[in-house]
C-alpha cells in the first residue's frame, strides 16, 4: 500500500486548506492518497464538493477534536 501524505492546513487562512489540497493533488500521482488536516469549519463540506466535482475519491471525512481529517485518493 502506498503511503498517505499528510497536508497540515490547520490554522491557515490564505490561500486556505482547499488550496493546499489542490496544490498537493496536482503534485501527486494517480492512486496516491492525501490526508488533509483543517481547522476551517467549511472544509467538511467544501472539500468533498471539490473532490466530487473534479472526480477524485473521498476515502474518509471526519472531525476529531475540532480538526477535520479528510482522506482523498487521486483518481485521474
Rounded least distance, CB 31 to other proteins, Å: 17
Residue 31, all three cell numbers:
492512486
Residue 26 interacts with other proteins (CB under 8 A): yes or no: yes
Rounded least distance, CB 12 to other proteins, Å: 4
In the annotation, is 16 catalytic? no
Stretch in the footprint of other proteins (CB under 8 A) among 38-46, 57-65, 66-74: 38-46
What are the residues whose beta carbons fall under 8 Å from the beta carbon of 71, sequence distance 6 or more? 4, 33, 34, 35, 36, 58, 59, 60, 61
Catalytic residue set: 14
Amino acid at each position: 500500500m502506498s503511503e498517505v501524505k499528510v497536508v497540515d492546513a490547520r490554522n491557515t487562512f490564505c490561500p486556505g486548506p482547499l488550496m493546499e489540497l489542490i496544490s498537493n493533488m496536482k503534485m501527486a500521482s494517480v492512486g496516491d492518497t492525501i490526508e488533509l488536516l483543517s481547522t476551517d469549519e467549511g472544509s467538511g463540506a467544501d472539500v468533498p464538493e471539490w473532490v466530487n466535482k473534479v472526480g477524485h475519491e473521498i476515502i474518509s471525512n471526519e472531525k476529531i477534536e475540532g480538526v477535520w481529517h479528510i482522506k482523498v485518493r487521486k483518481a485521474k
